[in-house]
Structure 1
Amino acid sequence: MISRSKSSFQKNLGCITVLLLLAPPTQALSLSDTPRDPLKPFVGEWVVDNANPSGTNLVLRQEGTRLIGSSPSGEESLEFKSTGEFGFLEGTLIEEDGKVSATIELSRRENRIIIELAPPQSEYVIMTARKVQGSPSVEASDAIEKANVRVENAKQNLTKALASKDDGALQNATNELQDARLALAKLTESDTKQKVASKQPATDKQEKPSFEIRTEEAAIKQVSSMPDIREWVKDVEAANKKGDQPRSARFEATEEGKRFVVHVFEYVGTDEEGHTATLGWYNVDKATGGVTEEKMF
């Protein structure tokens, strides 16, 4: 496994190209109704929760049958394709020094995505991103589109009724047009409020990751993906190459109720004889994936 320092992907999230196979999935996920366009759920502006303290914006936009992502730097790119499962893509992160396997997944709430970089080319890095600005939701967009069609049809019916000089048909067509315009106005107002709300500053609750940690292995991955821990692992491996005694970074997880406790320590010596030096203990929330350091004193 190649040890990597802080990935510029975590800092910048450079230019990203998402390539999809547009064949419909054989089985839909239990998200909300599956949209007609599989790219729409990924379109918008996303802030990566655990990339760095200030957050990193990733803007995804649709260009034909491709989803293009960009951030200010544009130093790297991601290329994904559909796996045949709605809301889940897999591909590679392309950096100057090589490629890393990666996946991107739409969460069940459809306002978050989960990005994961995986071995053998990289240590596990798991990041979540929340949508803060983008196109209307798929459901609202489709509803507005249908409402516009209804208004246009009502206008055509009214024109025909005027030509027929049938008072009953004219009254019905007039009422239908009024109802269609009222429905469109309500949908447009609701969509406008949603856009305004999406631009509001995120609350502390929104900043927390929103995926479950169910196994000890997943808890260790979550802790080991933290930038400070990755830097520490790099230092230990550098010391191992220079020192007289073997050194290694180790992680042990224990399940305790609603959390996992991960012990992070350095082991110096051989399997037969050696000693440990604890870096810290970290609590991983099962429900959110949030990581907090446990203060021993």
Structure 2
Amino acid sequence: MLDLAIIGGGPAGLTAGLYATRGGLKDVTMFEMGMPGGQITGSSEIENYPGQGEIMSGMDLMQNWPEQCQKFGLKHEMSQVSRVTKNGDIFTVTTSDGKTQEAKSVLLATGSVPRKAGFKGENEFFGRGISTCATCDGFFYKNKEVALVGGGDSALEEAVYLSKICSKVYLVHRRDTYRAAPSTIEHMKACENIEEVTNVTVEEVYGDASGVTGLKVKSKESGEIRDLAVPGVFVFVGRDVLNEPLKQEDGSFLCDLDEQGQVIVDLKMKTSVPGLYAAGDVRIDAAKQVVCAAGDGATAAVNIIEYLG
């Protein structure tokens, strides 16, 4: 029986494995179908990770993490977890090939993925001018014009963030009203360099070998096409939380989630089910930054050791 089953091999899962094994847990397995590292390995440039003075790719940042985190006994099983259940004090982890393992505790660190808007050029230019992280990539457009697609709280908050870096932000939204909180809308409207481009559809993001050079939007009222010449497009149309392993046979979930499907945790990363923890982007109020996910993993591991002790 495992002391701890970690589901997910990104920064949260890897750090949890390091702290748990170094902290004395003997049987700890991390379930990750591919190579560990997480979504950040797809980022081309990172310059805001503490202690890393040079700009590097996500792959470069994460390359040494698996070896360090496995040094104290963390095992890596290349399997996808399909379901986690609990009977009494014991969890059962079922993988997609039908195999099961029992565990005294479980950490869910599967993360979330940005939802795609579905416009032409989105896949082609993702990472080459299209981004889903203003904190990560906003600085590269300092004193330049950018466009942001979305109309919820996150979109408006990120537009305000970008307005402090960029010379102008075009806020592109398919409706003429926003889904954000009134206070967030008021804050956005107070920014003089945010121009609202509403009641439009994104027809296309285009560019060249160097990346994005602009996007075209179409008015829903007149059908007029407007061309916005920008080198950067940020997309915030929601995220899909990877909470499938928590789904039970009857359609319910093993622990409490919020309306967006994010796992509700306290400051110790505890869920509503004793012995079940969640860390990183899968939890509520996650900052969606590598350093924060790693911190979550360490916090969870320290408290799992206490729980098992």
The interval holding the TM-score normalised by the smaller chain is under 0.3
- Structure index of larger Rg: 1
Q: TM-score, normalised on structure 1?
A: 0.23
Higher strand share: 1
Higher relative contact order (Cα pairs below 8 Å, separated by 6+ residues): 2
